[in-house]
Structures are given as structure tokens and as C-alpha cells.
Chains A and B, each alone.
Chain A
């Protein structure tokens, strides 16, 4: 644990230092390049706003109206019959939609059921091994102006389903289901 926190703390400073020294060595005008590259960041951030506003408003409406809860209640028995604990179902639905909400749910599950329970471990692994597909899709495609997404959403969501199944199986196999 000590080692891991040392690595993750030193990684970013090391990376930045290396980029700067390498750039200086190769006689790149480092500061000017940094500023030029940074300008692009502002443009990108502003160009994603409409995409995220559209997506997040729809998601908030869906959640606040109780539609998400209804969907989960409907699907819960099905999940339970294949061995997925009912407590974890909301997390499965939130994970592809909102990273912050998923993180909140994960810490809530860990707080209530304990970090070393099946549910606590499952939530931990799920948090690490899947991503917010809708957010990634909206931001990445929105920023560069891709309108026709093709199979991207289908592929991303199916990949999430695979990630969830794998997480459940791996946790059950390594720690058991207690």
C-alpha cells in the first residue's frame, strides 16, 4: 500500500518533469508550446457544453421522475435469479451514465455493507473495471463534432455488460460470495 501511494504520488510530477526536460533537450520552445497547446483546451471545453447539457438534463429528468427506480425494481428479480445481489443493481445502471453518482453509490455500498463483504468488494471492482460510457461518448464525439455515432453506443454498452459479468464472476471466484 505504501509503495502504491508513493508511486501514484510521484508519477505525475515525474511525467511532467520528463516531458519538460526532454523538450528542453530537443530545443522545443517549451513555454510557448505549452501556451499554444493550452489554448486548444479552452476551445474544446466550451465546445462540449451543449452536448453535456443535453445529455445530463435528460438523465436528471429520468432519475428525478422515478423512472430509473421503476426500471430497477422491474429488473431486480431477474438479476437476483442469476446471482446478482439486489443491492448492487442501482450501481449497475448508474455506472455507464454518471461517474460522480456511481462513485457516491460505491462509497455508500462500502459504508453500509463493509469494504470486506461480497457487496463491498464487488462495488470496488466494478468501479475500477467499467467506465461512464455515456459521458465518454458525449464528450469525445461532441468535442470533435461526430454526429453519426455508428455502432459506438451499442459496442460501448455491450462492453459494459461484459465488464459487469466478469467483475461478478472474478470477485465470487477469488473471495467467495459472503
Chain B
């Protein structure tokens, strides 16, 4: 599906450029997009190195395991295929907690680590396992408690109450996470019925 979307965006873009006469912009966009991607990855190196370094200490000291023990009952239901003592649990949980506190730059390295562990659990195959799809669904619903960036923007533009959106955001984020889990489960049962 990703292959189709990728080709679709590119080809439809070229066709529109022909019709609209935006070929010059499109030519520029090709290399701007590539440059932006590399800049983004280079920018990621610093946070990846820092947080993965920190998390290695947390893993070796057993902190990660204690964290997963704490939330075990909840996460066990969400990820029935992951053994409770597996390091994947710890990474999934730390990723979710970083997201909750709006620590986007810490969440990404932890999410990648969680994926890596989930891939090991799946026998190193190059296809997405059930747990991976669930993990992504929860991630894209992005459970947030303190939307720090948005609050900062609202303060910038002199909102009478910059933080009034915190409670609505929490409500919306919880409902949409539940929705994501339900959608994920629906697709899982549909897959397993097909065999």
C-alpha cells in the first residue's frame, strides 16, 4: 500500500505540475524535500545518541524492567503477544510515557528501540507483526498530557487562557487512542478470520 501511495503522490504531482505550470516549483521541491529529509536525520543524531545512551543505563540497571512491572496489567492486554518480561515492554512503556509528557525527541528513539525488540520477537521477519501495528496505532493517536508547544504558541498570541485547551486535549487524546485500539483490533480479527 505504501508503494502505491508513494508512486501516486509523485505521479499525480507531476501531472498537476503540467496542468498548473508549476514545473519549476516541482523541480525545486524534489531537491528541497531530499535535503529536508537529510537535515532531519542529522538533527535526529543528537537526540538518538543521547536518549539511547541514557536508556542503555536504564536497561542495564533494571529500571526499565521495574517500569514495565508497574504497568504490566494494562500493557499485557494491549500486547498479548509480548512476553511480560521482554525488554520490548519496557521500551513500549517509556515511549508512551515520553509521548504523554510531550517529549517528542525522547519518544522517537524509544519507539525505534521498541520496534527493534518487536522485530526480534517476530523472528526477524520483514513484515509487520500484530504488536507492531498496535504499537503504531497507539503512537499515531499520540496520547498527550501537556501539549507544551501549543501552549507556548497560544501564549505568544496573547490568549486569555493559554492552558484552557489542556483538558479538551486530554479528553480528545484519550478517546482517539481508544478509537485507535478498537480499529487496530477490528483489523486484527479481520486478518485472523481470513487465516
Chain A nearest CB from B156 CB (Å) reads 8
**How many inter-chain contacts with C-beta < 8 Å in the A-B complex?**
346
**Inter-subunit contact A53/B6 (CB<8 Å):** no
Residue-by-residue, is B16-34 near A (CB-CB < 8 Å gives 1, otherwise 0)? 1100101001101110111
Picked from B22, B137, B148, B149, the residue with its CB within 8 Å of the CB of A64 is: B22
Knowing A52-B40, A61-B14, the reply to whether A156 touches B137 (Cβ < 8 A) is yes
Picked from B33, B58, B137, the residue with its CB within 8 Å of the CB of A57 is: B33
Q: Report Cα–Cα, A20/B57, bound state, in Å.
A: 7
Q: Report Cα–Cα, A62/B141, bound state, in Å.
A: 25
Chain B, Cβ-Cβ closest to A121: B165
**Inter-subunit contact A110/B128 (CB<8 Å):** no
Task: Please name all residues of chain B whose beta carbon is closer than 8 Å to the beta carbon of A160 when the two chains form the complex.
Answer: 140
Within 8 A of A (CB), among B136-163: 136-137, 139-142, 144, 146-151, 153-154, 156-163
Tell me if B74 counts as interface (CB < 8 A to partner A): no
Q: Report Cα–Cα, A153/B153, bound state, in Å.
A: 30
Tell me if B83 counts as interface (CB < 8 A to partner A): no
Within 8 A of B (CB), among A28-55: 28, 30, 33-42, 44-46, 48-49, 52-55
Knowing A28-B61, A106-B153, the reply to whether A116 touches B112 (Cβ < 8 A) is no
Chain A nearest CB from B68 CB (Å) reads 15
Knowing A53-B34, A144-B115, A171-B168, the reply to whether A150 touches B128 (Cβ < 8 A) is yes
**Inter-subunit contact A129/B176 (CB<8 Å):** yes
Chain B nearest CB from A101 CB (Å) reads 10
**Inter-subunit contact A37/B53 (CB<8 Å):** yes
**Inter-subunit contact B9/A58 (CB<8 Å):** yes
Q: Report Cα–Cα, A103/B152, bound state, in Å.
A: 12
**Inter-subunit contact A33/B57 (CB<8 Å):** yes
* The stretch of A72-80, A81-89, A130-138 that contacts the partner chain: A130-138
Tell me if A94 counts as interface (CB < 8 A to partner B): no
Picked from A7, A38, A60, A162, the residue with its CB within 8 Å of the CB of B49 is: A38
Q: How large is the interface on B (under 10, 10 to 19, 20 to 34, 35 or more residues)?
A: 35 or more
Task: Please name all residues of chain A whose beta carbon is closer than 8 Å to the beta carbon of B28 when the two chains form the complex.
Answer: 64
Residue-by-residue, is A14-38 near B (CB-CB < 8 Å gives 1, otherwise 0)? 0010011011011010100111111
**Inter-subunit contact A156/B53 (CB<8 Å):** no
Task: Please name all residues of chain B whose beta carbon is closer than 8 Å to the beta carbon of A153 when the two chains form the complex.
Answer: 1-2, 5
**Inter-subunit contact A146/B127 (CB<8 Å):** yes
Residue-by-residue, is B122-141 near A (CB-CB < 8 Å gives 1, otherwise 0)? 00001110001100110111
Q: Report Cα–Cα, A71/B101, bound state, in Å.
A: 34
Task: Please name all residues of chain B whose beta carbon is closer than 8 Å to the beta carbon of A38 when the two chains form the complex.
Answer: 49-50, 52-53, 56
When A and B form their complex, which 3 residue pairs have the shortest distance between CB atoms, in order from nearest? Answer: A37-B56, A60-B33, A41-B48
- A interface list, Cβ under 8 A from B: 1, 4, 7-8, 11-12, 16, 19-20, 22-23, 25-26, 28, 30, 33-42, 44-46, 48-49, 52-67, 70, 96, 103, 106-107, 110-111, 114-116, 120-121, 124-125, 127-131, 133, 136-137, 139-141, 143-156, 158-160, 162-163, 166-167, 170-171, 174-175
10 contacts between A and B (CB under 8 A): A23-B57, A37-B53, A37-B57, A41-B49, A61-B29, A67-B16, A124-B153, A129-B141, A140-B112, A151-B187
